[in-house]
Amino acid sequence: EVREQYTAVSGRQFLAGLAQREQRNPQFDFLKPTHMLFSYFTSLVDAYSKVLTPTDVQRVFGEDGQDPKKVLARVVQRYEWNRQAEEKKAQAKAADDEKERLYQSVDWHEFVVVETIEFPD
């Protein structure tokens, strides 16, 4: 794991240099693209790169996380959004329940066929 993390931080140039330097070392055979563990190694490097290299959005949130007032404002904003989403969901469920109640209140057995209309072909 340490190799993968260091490669993720140092970049692909480090990986190429390491593979060149250790090409005769059997412990580093996984650095060769033909080795069966090469894809596993590169997937770990990619995963660590995503985690260890923050995006612009992560940097902004990281900076906002240092100010307690900004954190509290984001928490309140998220709470309000969740509350509104729950209210909308409850209103939609109430409307569906009312619709179902009205549908169930109709006595469908009391309907009688009064006339049949036939259309000529």
Q: pLDDT for 15-26, tens place per residue? A: 888 888 888 888
Q: pLDDT for 20-54, tens place per residue? A: 888 888 888 888 888 898 899 888 888 888 777 77
- One DSSP character per residue, 66-111 reads T-HHHHHHHHHHHHHHHHHHHHHHHHHHHHHHHHHHHHHHS-GGG-
- CB-side neighbour CA atoms (13 Å) of 76: 6
Q: pLDDT for 57-115, tens place per residue? A: 767 777 666 777 887 888 899 999 999 999 999 999 999 999 999 988 888 788 888 88
Residue 84 has what pLDDT? 97
CB count in 10 Å sphere of residue 15:
19
Residue in the structure block whose two tokens are 């260890």: 52
